[in-house]
Amino acid sequence: MNRSPFLRFGLSLGLVVLYLACSKSDDDPTPTTTTTTTSTDVPVVYKKLYGASNVYVEGDYIVVRTTNVPDHKSPYFKGTKWESTQYEAYNGTGTFAANPNTITQQNLVFRLPRTPKEATTKQETPLGPIGVSINGVVFFNQYAAGRSALTMEILGFDQYGGHPQQQGQYHYHVEPTYLTKKVGKDALLGFLLDGFPVYGPQENGKTITNTDLDKYHGHVGKTADYPDGIYHYHITDADPYLNGSGFYGTPGTVSQ
């Protein structure tokens, strides 16, 4: 059967369009970041961040994503979608005065230097997140709003040492007792923004005090995770608790 030239042209054009539509390959450009590598390249120590939603390498940085919802119970789960399973009335020691906030889910992205180094010029820690703990909850520094002392705010810490701020961002200023009970008082508790690790209040069977640490609240030494030695922070039971006069290294970034 003879087809008209116009019909043959139409069929040919249709086949070309269909071929082009079906022949898009994996080599076509995509909007993904080309420097991102697979999670298998993440240093083993970062795999202890069990509460992070994702941890991967991106160039010179370790990227840590977290929803910042604690894996332990708290009175600050009251009135939230997690209340039925995660709410627990305060059962710690001392006076407790709950603040009016409740825990909300966050979407935080930390970019921590993959190879942390001492900074030539030390930077002051900001208010808000200065690091991330192994259960995905953020660390704050030693100040309340306006860089005032924690004297009154500490009354609002729940039985595990944390509380949410006005936007519902749960955080620790002091020892996260749930974690030190879970993994040990001498264990890795997380990382600050400069990529240096944070450890609990004990080391080699000794309780660490502020006098054992420099003004940034850390020192150089061997740890179970870093047998060759590394600068690391310690949480203590006295101000500044976690970090003193600033980051020892150059901080990365945190965004939401």
Q: What pLDDT, on a 0 to 100 scale, did the predictor assign at position 16?
A: 39
Residue 256: the pLDDT is 86
Q: Can you spell out the DSSP letters for 61-125? A: EEEEEE----SS-BGGGTTSTTHHHHB----SSS-----S-------EEEEEESS--B-SS--PP
Distances (CA, A) of 129 to 36, 164, 251: 24, 12, 12
CB atoms within 10 A of CB 164: 23
The pLDDT assigned to 244 comes to 86
208 Ramachandran zone, left/alpha/beta (phi>0; psi -120 to 50)? beta
Angle at CA 242, nearest 5°, toward 123 and 94? 145
195 neighbors 160 (Cβ within 8 angstroms): no
pLDDT at 39: 67
How far is it, in rounded angstroms, from Cα 4 to Cα 24? 31
Give the contacts of 231 (CB within 8 A, at least 6 positions apart): 116, 118, 196, 218, 219, 220, 248, 249
- Rg of the chain over Cα atoms, rounded to whole angstroms, equals 25
- Cα 4 to its chain centre, rounded Å, is 68
pLDDT single digits (tens) 177-188: 999 999 999 999
> Residue 240, preceding bond cis, omega within 30 degrees?
yes
Alpha helices for 133-204 (secondary structure H):
177-183
- The pLDDT, as a whole number, for residue 5 is 47
Instruction: Quote the distance between the C-alpha of residue 167 and its chain's center.
Output: 17
**How many CB atoms neighbour CB 30 within 10 A?**
8
Which pLDDT score, from 0 to 100, does residue 224 have?
96
First to last CA, the chain: 66
Beta partners for residue 249, in sequence order? 118
Environment class of residue 226 by beta-carbon count within 10 Å: exposed (0-12), middle (13-18) or buried (19+)? middle
**Which residue, 185, 217, 39, 192, is CA-closest to 116?**
192
* Buried residues in 115-144 as b, exposed as e (16+ CB within 10 A): ebeeeeebeebeeebbbbbbbbbbbbbbbb
CA–CA gap between residue 42 and residue 55 (Å, rounded): 7
* Mean pLDDT of each 10-residue bin along the chain, 256 residues long: 46 40 36 42 94 95 97 98 98 95 97 97 96 98 90 96 97 98 98 98 97 97 97 97 95 95
Closest CA to 58 of 46, 42, 69, 47: 42
